[in-house]
Structure 1
Amino acid sequence: MLFVSLYHGALYWPTTIRDKPVYPKLNKDMLCDILIIGAGMSGALLTYKLAKEPLEVILVEKDRVGEGSTSANTGLLQYSNDKMLHSFAESIGEKDAVRFYRLCLKGMEELKEIASILQEDIQFENRQSLYYASTEADVLSIKKEYEMLKQYDFPVEFLDEEMIYKSYGFKKHAAIRTSGDAEVNPQKLVVSLIKEASKGSNVRVFENTEAEKLHYQDGYWLYKSEDACIRAKHVVYATGYELDNYTRNMATKLNRTYVTVTNPISSFQQWKDRSLIWETKRPYFYMRTTFDGRIVAGGLDEETMEAPKDPRILEAYGNKLLARVKEHFPQIQLQADYVYGATFGESKDGIPFIGEVPKSKNLYYCLGFGGNGTVYSSFGSTIIKDLITKGEHPDADLVRLDR
Structure 2
Amino acid sequence: MDLISGQPWWFYKNGISNAYPSLTQNTKEEVVIMGGGITGALLAWHLTRAGFPVIVLEKRHIGMGSTSGSTALLQYEIDTMLTDLIGMIGEKNAVRSYQLCVEAIYKVQLICKKLKVKTDFALQKSIYYASVLKDRDILRKEFEARKKMGIDVEWWDRETIRKNIPDLNKSAAILSHDGAQIDAYQFTHFLLQDCISKGARVYDTVEVTEIKHHSRGVTLMLDNGFKLDTKKLVIASGYESQNYLSKRVVRLHSSYAIISKPIDNQKELWYENAMLWESARPYLYMRTTADKRMLIGGKDEMFSSAVKRDKLLHKKSLQLENNAKKIFPHLPFVTDYSWCGTFAETEDGLPFIGSVKEHPDTYFALGFGGNGILFSILAAEIITDLMQGKKNRDAEIFKFDRI
Question: What TM-score results when the alignment is normalised by the length of structure 1?
Answer: 0.95
Which residue does the alignment assign to 1:27?
A: 24
Determine if contact 1:306/1:342 at 8 Å carries over to the other structure. no
Residue 19 of structure 1: how far off its partner (Å): 5.6
1:395 aligns with 2:394: yes
Determine if contact 1:149/1:156 at 8 Å carries over to the other structure. yes
Compute the RMSD of aligned alpha carbons: 1.8
Q: Tell me the percent identity.
A: 34
For structure 1, the 5+ residue unaligned runs are: none
More moved, 124-133 vs 317-326: 317-326
1:136 aligns with 2:167: no
Which residue does the alignment assign to 1:256?
A: 254
Amino acid in structure 1 at the alignment position of 2:136: V
216 and 251 in structure 1: CA distance in 2 versus 1, 3 angstrom threshold: closer
Aligned length: 399
Which residue does the alignment assign to 2:84?
A: 87
Q: How does 1:26-175 map to 2 (within 5 A)?
A: 26-169=23-166, 170-175=168-173
C-alpha distance in 1 between matches for 2:47 and 2:339: 34
Which residue, out of 11, 23, 27, partners 1:14? Answer: 11
Determine if contact 1:262/1:334 at 8 Å carries over to the other structure. yes
More moved, 189-198 vs 204-213: 204-213
Residue 248 of structure 1: how far off its partner (Å): 5.3
Which residue, out of 208, 218, 231, partners 1:233? Answer: 231
1:194 aligns with 2:192: yes
Q: Deviations over 1:86-130 (max 9, x none)?
A: 110111111111011112122222111112222321111110000
Q: Deviations over 1:187-235 (max 9, x none)?
A: 111111111111112x111111112444333432111222422211110
Residue 58 of structure 1: how far off its partner (Å): 0.7
Determine if contact 2:4/2:341 at 8 Å carries over to the other structure. yes
Which residue does the alignment assign to 2:363?
A: 364
258 and 53 in structure 1: CA distance in 2 versus 1, 3 angstrom threshold: same
Which runs of structure 1 show a deviation greater than 3 angstroms over 4 or more consecutive aligned residues? 243-246, 305-313
For structure 2, the 5+ residue unaligned runs are: none
Residue 387 of structure 1: how far off its partner (Å): 1.0
Q: Deviations over 1:236-269 (max 9, x none)?
A: 0001111454435223110101101111112154
Determine if contact 1:6/1:306 at 8 Å carries over to the other structure. no
Residue 308 of structure 1: how far off its partner (Å): 5.1
Q: How does 1:293-372 map to 2 (within 5 A)?
A: 293-307=292-306, 313-358=312-357, 360-372=359-371
Q: Deviations over 1:109-163 (max 9, x none)?
A: 2111112222321111110000001111101111101111111101111111111
34 and 312 in structure 1: CA distance in 2 versus 1, 3 angstrom threshold: closer
More moved, 306-315 vs 179-188: 306-315
Determine if contact 1:308/1:314 at 8 Å carries over to the other structure. no
Which residue, out of 182, 185, 188, partners 1:184? Answer: 182
Determine if contact 2:154/2:175 at 8 Å carries over to the other structure. yes
C-alpha distance in 1 between matches for 2:391 and 2:27: 28
Determine if contact 2:235/2:241 at 8 Å carries over to the other structure. no
305 and 17 in structure 1: CA distance in 2 versus 1, 3 angstrom threshold: farther
Residue 63 of structure 1: how far off its partner (Å): 1.3
242 and 66 in structure 1: CA distance in 2 versus 1, 3 angstrom threshold: same
1:373 aligns with 2:375: no
